[in-house]
Amino acid sequence: VSKRARKGAGEQTWRGLGVSDGIVIGQVLRLHNGTCQVFRATIKEEDIERETHRLHAAVRLATRQLLAIKARAETELGADHAYIFDAHLLMLEDRKLLEDTEAFIRAERANAEWAVRVVADRFLAVYAEIKDEYLRERGSDIEDVTQRLLMALGGAERQDTSILTENAVIVAENLLPSAVAELDFEHARAIATDAGGWTSHTAIIARSLGIPAVVGVRQLHRRVRTGDLIIVDATRGDVILHPAHDTIEKYKVAAASSMETSSIVTEHDVAKLITLDEREIVLRANIELTAEYEGIKRFGARGIGLYRSEFLLSRHGSIPGEEDQFEAYKRIAELGGEDGATIRLFDLGGEKIGPRLTDHEQNPALGLRAIRFSLKNEDVLRHQIRAILRASAFGRLDIVLPMIMDLDDVRRSRKIIGAESALLESENIATGRVRIGAMIEVPSAVQLARTIAAEVDFFSLGTNDLVQYMLAVDRSNDDVADWFQTLHPSVLQSIYQVLTAANAAGIPSIICGEMAGTPAYAVMLLGLGATELSMTSSSIPRVRQVISGISHRDAHDIAMKCLQCGTAGEVEQIVRDEYLARWPQLFSTKSLPVIRHKT
């Protein structure tokens, strides 16, 4: 997907995929990973001992580096991202690797680099034959370790990214997990890689940190040098190397205006957010990774609106014990501050959990997941409840029950929460006052919102799942992507119905999900009656800016018109016409939904 064009002397533009918005003008920091070129050399008989010593020294150096990376990953990305380095360390210590490599050096009188490469390739060849796809992909871990070892042999320290200049732009072929964990998040201003897609590790980390990133920029890495001037425009997916003077000037203006909407908050930003007609709107943060904690303050979130607790699980499904959970929730409670934090109980099932419990479901999205899973595995549920209740002594915590179908689910859960709470009291363990909310994302809960509202303390609307279940469209299936219509009138009517029911019952509701973080959709949600939105914290400045520039009255008028529509295309047409007419300073045709089917 890359396009290259020359302009003026030396200026080169590439087109890739922008996976984390923003514009940065900076200097390249070129990371060599993935492509250590290795050459064969024949060494003299008497140098063989020296060569094996070099190998052992390189292993020691690489081990020290990995230990440091592991420690860093644990504190900054969370234990679930750090475990992989245990496996990497064991590979470095592996007798088989060392013995085979040493034997190769001796038998072939080969240099250590060549021996490492050949031996690793043998392992990788065996790996490539493995039938199980998941296990086969683990070959990338072997390659990661091999590259680190080759780097160590080259005598070249892995570049110390802690001495980055203020405006460093990381350019790499592909950022391996260990390289991402090594980055200095304070100074890395942008990332551009040759490989990668929307869901790559790089993209996920970049988005959660609010760093602009463009991936899939073919052949970029081999053409840049550290220190080159570069512009990363992730909003358009462009990367410009050696920009000409007038290009820089143009981007300085663009970068400055994008800074206004997506950078560090000023004092003014933390103040109350009100619409032009003085309706107060609260923006909160969705949190998954430890790396995102910093963003809560940085982007001015009013506490945590949704903590996805299942991210505490390691990538392969082991559920942490009560103590580990307690520590994690305590941290969340402290981060939430006076605005508090809402913890969603494990949304487990389908993909995320071990075998016995969810054996080959034909319809995982309709199967044993979320609250159903927890109610069936009561031990898991009880441990989690206890951990949350104990942590609530250290800050305001609320619980939200995922995938509620009706009052049965609510009552069964509340009964267990009540029992654990009484148990803790009898053990003289302190707890705080925890509110219990229902996640509304299943059509039956939309229909029954009025009755559910009577027995919970708040509603949380998960728009991603609501769209999926309301329209019966799998959001991960590309074949039906055309049918996944966020602005479908049935979705808007559902949201309106739920917000109205909550309002009538006198309980608050908060909208979580990607819809809330998209300015054009956020305005629609306001119009339908929402006053609290929760989103990835890096989206907050953008949404804040738009909300402070509109009146609720206008948003309401537009939303009511949309509720009368029969297709998503009709809604999209109204949104485009009305937004552009009323708020030309806030929206451009580019920031509004495209119309799928002309009406």
Partner 1 sequence: MVEKIVVVTNRLGLHARAAAQLVSAANRYQSLVRIERLDKSAAADAKSILSVLMLAASRGTELKLTADGTDENEAINALNGLFAEGFGELSP
Among 94, 288, 474, 557, binds partner 1 (CB under 8 A): 94
Element (H, E) at 26: strand 23-30
- Of 382 and 556, nearer to partner 1 (C-beta) is 382
HSE, side-chain direction, 13 A CA sphere, residue 211: 28
Residue 188 to residue 164: CA distance in whole angstroms: 7
Q: Is 499 in the site for partner 1 (CB under 8 A)?
A: no
Give the C-alpha separation, 131 to 104, whole Å: 28
Q: What are the strands, taking DSSP E only, across 488-577? A: 509-512, 532-536
> Can you tell me which of 45, 46, 338, 379 binds partner 1, judged by CB under 8 A?
379
d(CA 94, CA 59): 10
What kind and span of H or E run contains 279? none
- Report how many residues bind partner 1 under the rule CB under 8 A: 37
Strand 213-215 versus strand 17-20 pairing type: antiparallel
Q: Which of the following is catalytic: 512, 552, 562, 565?
A: 512
Task: Give whichever of 137 and 260 is closer to partner 1, judged by the CB atom.
Answer: 137
389 binds partner 1 (CB under 8 A): no
334 and 357 Cβ atoms separated by less than 8 Å: no
Catalytic member of 187, 201, 242, 556: 201
Q: Which of 90, 270, 276, 419 binds partner 1 (CB under 8 A)?
A: 90
CB of 284 to partner 1, least distance (A): 29
Q: What phi and psi values does residue 230 have, to the nearest 5 degrees?
A: -150, 145
Tell me, yes or no, if 201 is annotated catalytic: yes
Contacts of 153 (CB under 8 A, 6+ apart): 54, 55, 58, 112, 113, 116
Distance between CA atoms of 342 and 463, rounded to whole angstroms? 17
Q: Which of 126, 264, 366, 419 binds partner 1 (CB under 8 A)?
A: 126
| Whether 275 contacts 282, CB under 8 Å | no
Smallest distance from partner 1 to CB 227, Å: 36
Interface residue with partner 1, options 71, 130, 256, 454 (CB under 8 A): 130
Question: Binding of partner 1 at residue 291 (CB under 8 A)?
Answer: no
Selected binder of partner 1 within 6, 37, 39, 132 (CB under 8 A): 132
User: Which residue's CB is nearer to partner 1, number 291 or number 319?
Assistant: 319
103 binds partner 1 (CB under 8 A): no
The 507-546 site mask, x for binding partner 1 (CB under 8 A), equals ----------------------------------------
Instruction: Give, as one character, the DSSP assignment of residue 110.
Output: B
For residues 221 and 174, the answer to whether their CB atoms sit within 8 Å is no
**Per-residue x/- marks for partner 1, 338-367, CB under 8 A?**
---------------xxxxx----------
Q: Six-digit token pair at 51? A: 């060569």
Would you please indicate which residues are annotated as catalytic (active-site) residues? Answer: 201, 512
Residues engaged in binding partner 1 (CB under 8 A):
83-84, 86-87, 90-91, 94-97, 123, 126-127, 130-132, 134-135, 138, 141-142, 314-319, 321, 353-357, 377, 379-380, 383
